[in-house]
Amino acid sequence: MSSEKVGLIAGSGRFPIIFAQEARRMKVEVVALGIKGVTDESLEALVGRVQYFKLGQIDKPIKALKAAGVARAVMAGKVQHASLFGGVMPDLRAAKLLARLSDKRTDTILKAVADEFAKDGIELLSSATYLSHLLVPAGQLTIRKPGAAEAADIRLGWQAAKAVAGFDIGQTVVVVGGAVVAVEGMEGTDACVLRARDLARARGAKPSLCVVKVAKPKQDLRFDLPVIGLDSLSVFKDAGVTALALEAGSTLIFDRDEFVREADAQKLAVVGLNAEGAI
């Protein structure tokens, strides 16, 4: 193990696991902090030890990283936005932070948290640190490319998703036949797609859905980076998704090679969109 050391503030899902695997491969020591009831405990097998804290605590995690000699850290993994509405007991430092905020949007809260870490000499790095090889490239990723109707839906989806993401509401929209049928809220991408399936099939039809996922217009790469992984493919298949468009350069595909192989197997067209929303 090299002398390099990085902190990991781990939410739910595979993101923290994949980050820890890559850091380990690069011989970087990971000092991991987890959230009780949220972080996947299998992370312990990769980093040796995870210190757990309650959602809403800021002071103790900062002190734990400082005590471990950490000056740089990464936030990886989800914390459900709905947690903001109950079940969270902030510590004194977090309570003071929340009282200063002009609103309770995710970006507002996370940027304020990043500032608190910086006050104690801990820099929050991009969530894509060590994971640049998983960033979506521009262009066609799968064998099948979107048809003319799908391409039109993708163009509409890009405009709608960028508008919604600009208000920090969600980063995914689902389009079919020139109409936006679902916009992601706090429920996440997969739940949004399933809701779109139910709406689109309400009259017995089985239309082809297009999913468009983008970064926020001024995406802070330190947190809330759009991600997608293998679990979503089964959801897409069940929902009748035939095309998936992701913003290139700022969206991560976990297990990217396997993801593309499975997408090809189910004839899903996957493309990376450039900064203008073009394939």
| Domain harbouring 178, CATH code | 3.40.140.80
Joined tokens for residue 139: 């262009």
Q: Bigger pLDDT: 253 or 1? A: 253
| 48, 98: one domain | yes
Q: What is the pLDDT of residue 85?
A: 46
| % the chain with pLDDT above 90 | 80
Q: State the pLDDT confidence band at 203, using cuts at 50, 70 and 90.
A: low
Q: State the pLDDT confidence band at 279, using cuts at 50, 70 and 90.
A: confident
Q: State the pLDDT confidence band at 81, using cuts at 50, 70 and 90.
A: low
Dihedrals phi, psi of 85, to nearest 5 degrees: -100, 10
Q: How far apart are CA 149 and CA 138, in angstroms?
A: 20
Range of the domain at 210: 132-273
| 145, 163: one domain | yes
Q: Could you tell me if 99 and 91 are in contact, meaning their C-beta atoms sit under 8 angstroms apart?
A: no
| 91, 140: one domain | no
Residue 279 located in a structural domain? no
Per the structure, the count of domains in the chain is: 2
Show which of 71, 90, 124 is a domain's final residue: 124
Query: What is the Cβ-side half-sphere exposure of residue 231, based on CA atoms within 13 angstroms?
Result: 9
Q: How far apart are CA 230 and CA 135, in angstroms?
A: 15
Angle between helices 92-100 and 59-67 (to 10 degrees): 120
The vertex-32 CA angle with 97 and 65, nearest 5°, equals 55
Lowest mean pLDDT among 59-63, 122-126, 224-228: 224-228
pLDDT digits (tens, 9 = 90+) for 216-260: 998 999 988 999 999 999 999 999 999 999 999 999 999 999 999
pTM recorded for the entire structure:
0.91
Q: How far apart are CA 63 and CA 182, in angstroms?
A: 42
**DSSP conformational letter for 181:** E
pLDDT digits (tens, 9 = 90+) for 136-159: 999 999 999 999 999 999 999 999
Mean of the per-residue pLDDT values of the chain: 92
pLDDT digits (tens, 9 = 90+) for 9-54: 999 999 999 999 999 999 999 999 999 889 999 999 999 999 999 8
Q: State yes or no: pLDDT of 1 exceeds 60.
A: no
Q: What is the pLDDT of residue 87?
A: 56
Q: How far apart are CA 152 and CA 169, in angstroms?
A: 23
